[in-house]
Each structure stands twice: as structure tokens, then as C-alpha cells.
């Protein structure tokens, strides 16, 4: 079993080729690429959600501004 390393993320042994060394507070640990990819995918999802939320907020703010400005619009039109 010398070609495998213990993955602290999955708590399983994976082939060495799939492992990357990580430095944590408790020392050096090994993590497999798929767990790193999975973590990154979750992060991307969260980023996408955050972007969606801020776009929503922007649109809401825009609509509020439009609504506030709308009563005056007829006076501004030529
Ligand atoms: Zn793993």
C-alpha cells in the first residue's frame, strides 16, 4: 500500500498521483484532487449565488429609483 496516501478529507486512501499536500494548522496533510475540485465547485456555486443576489439587489434598487423618479418624469419630458 505504498502507492497510496491517506486523504484527510475523504478519510480514505487514494493513489499517490491523485494526492496534493496541504499545510493545515495541525501540520501537513494530504488531500485528493477530487476533494479539492469538489470544494472549489462549492465555492464557485456560492460565488455565483452571491453574484445573482447582488444583481437582484441592483435591479431592486434601480426599480425603486425609477419609481421615485417616475412622478417627476412627466415634468421633465419636453
Ligand atoms: Zn479524498
CA of 13 to the centre of ligand 1 (A): 7
CA of 10 to the centre of ligand 1 (A): 4
For residue 75, the model assigns a pLDDT of: 59
- The tens-digit pLDDT sequence of the chain (78 residues) is 579 999 999 999 999 999 999 888 889 999 999 999 999 999 999 999 999 999 999 999 999 888 887 766 665 555
Cα dihedral 42, 45, 49, 55 in deg (nearest 10): 140
For residue 68, the model assigns a pLDDT of: 80
pTM (2 d.p.): 0.60
CA 73 distance to own-chain centroid: 41
Cell 494530504 belongs to residue: 30
CA of 24 to the centre of ligand 1 (A): 16
Alpha-carbon distance 46 to 27, whole Å? 28
For residue 73, the model assigns a pLDDT of: 62
For residue 2, the model assigns a pLDDT of: 76
CA of 15 to the centre of ligand 1 (A): 10
Amino acid at each position: 500500500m505504498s502507492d497510496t496516501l491517506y486523504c484527510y478529507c475523504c478519510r480514505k486512501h487514494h493513489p499517490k498521483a491523485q494526492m496534493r499536500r496541504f499545510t493545515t494548522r495541525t501540520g501537513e496533510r494530504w488531500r485528493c484532487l477530487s476533494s479539492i475540485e469538489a470544494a472549489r465547485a462549492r465555492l464557485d456555486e456560492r460565488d455565483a449565488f452571491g453574484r445573482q443576489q447582488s444583481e437582484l439587489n441592483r435591479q431592486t434598487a434601480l426599480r425603486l429609483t425609477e419609481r421615485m423618479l417616475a412622478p417627476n418624469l412627466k415634468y421633465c419630458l419636453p
